[in-house]
Every structure is written in structure tokens, then in C-alpha cells.
Amino acid sequence: MRSWIKRALTRTLAVKGPRGERHIEVEPGEHIVYLITFSIYALIGLMALQIFHMICFESWNSEIFSAISGLIGTVTGIFISQKT
């Protein structure tokens, strides 16, 4: 899973030089890859917890949903900011 995240966050830069244009790939740091991996696993765990809560107690837990929303915003923000 980390290789997929690393490929998704890798930027390609076009550099013009005396021998023409060439492309350089800039890979993200290991810390950001670990952060995204942990966030995705936490998101999956929170979704499972919310489903379990809905099955067992037949009610919606707004605290779990707000944590899920926060993680989705964090992961999306990192992907958008890393690609620019």
C-alpha cells in the first residue's frame, strides 16, 4: 500500500536545460507516506467501528462520524497540496 501512496504523491517536474527538456520525479518524504498510510488504516477502522455501532445499537454515532470526516479532510488536503 505504501508504494501506491508514494506513486500517487510523486510529482513530475519539467526542467529546461541546454540539451533540451527533461523530466524529474520528486518523491515524497517517508514521513508523509507513513502519515497517509496510518490515516487510511485509521479511516478504515473508524468506518468499521461506525458500522458495528449501527448494527449493535441501531443508532448513529456523531462523534465517530466527525472523526471520519476529519480524516477524510486531512488525507484529501495532503493529496491536493502535494500535487501542486
The three-state DSSP-derived secondary structure of 58-80 is: CCCCHHHHHHHHHHHHHHHHHHH
Q: Is 16 helix (H, G, I), strand (E, B) or coil?
A: strand
pLDDT-flagged residues of the chain (< 70): 83-84
The per-residue pLDDT for 81 is 87
The per-residue pLDDT for 3 is 92
Q: Is the pTM of this model over 0.75?
A: yes
- What cell was used for 64? 465517530
User: Which residue in 51, 31, 50 sits closest to 39, CA to CA?
Assistant: 31
The per-residue pLDDT for 84 is 67
Q: At what angle do helices 2-9 and 62-83 cross, to 10 degrees?
A: 50
Q: How many helices and strands (H and E) does the chain possess?
A: 3, 2
Q: Is 26 helix (H, G, I), strand (E, B) or coil?
A: strand
